[in-house]
Amino acid sequence: MRLDGKVAVVTGAGSGMGREIALLFAKEGAKVVVSDLNEQSAQATVDQITAEAGTAVLVVSNVAIEEDVQKMIDTAVEKFGTLDILINNAGIMDGMVPAHEVTDAQWERVFAVNATGPMRAIRKALPIFMEKGQGTIVNIASVGGLFGSRAGAAYTAAKHAVVGLTKNVGYQYAKNGIRANAIAPGGVNTNIGVGSTAPNEFGMSKTMPGMAVMPRLGEPSEIAKVALFLASDDSSFVNGTVVTADAGWTSY
């Protein structure tokens, strides 16, 4: 029970990596705030946790909306008395749209969910962590946040921003007992896809050559295990860094 007595907020917990993280954290003893835009899928996560004798509460939230982010963190404090772990997992893809075709609306939507949402959640959580003298943040970045052509322009830039935010927070609050790390998954078998049923042809043509050297797709449960390591005291000396989980894809 590596998270016994801890309270965790997991965004995008209705499916994929977020659901597996929420389920695993609950099994390890955490009380989990299951946050997702889709109420039905989030409720399914809560139901599975409670069926396995875990503790969870549902919060329907859009991380692109400031009020929803506030509500998400406030719910953890109201229901469970505090917050110990923040998992910024919610994210969207960008349809592989390249820089010469990306619109302001596309750019702003991807940044709102993938970068601004995590920033706002961290901003809300930090005063709680600082008062306690401890807290853990895990951001789900991407290999797209480490390299240049794993996605379109907006997603690539937003995930690079998440990496920078992680490093900044990790260092600046280290002496407050707070750790911030990120996971950079490679290809994972989830429903996020490329973010469009008709991805941009130019963008896809630039990303596809790299797909050929991917050893395999990962499973959401494999990413959840990395998140558990980073959220637990097992990683007490790990801070302000990015753990790549991609079966060796980016080592080529």
Helical axes 117-132 vs 66-80, angle rounded to 10°: 30
What residues have CB less than 8 Å from 199, skipping those under 6 apart?
95, 96
Verify whether residue 171 is a known catalytic residue: no
DSSP strand pairing (178-185 vs 242-245):
parallel
Catalytic residue among 155, 171, 173, 252: 155
Task: Give dist(CA 79, CA 186) in Å, integer.
Answer: 35
* Closest C-alpha to 166, from 142, 133, 148, 132: 142
Compute the half-sphere exposure of residue 58: CA atoms within 13 Å on the CB side of its CA: 17
Does residue 11 sit in helix, strand or coil? strand
* Residues annotated as catalytic (active site), given as ranges: 155
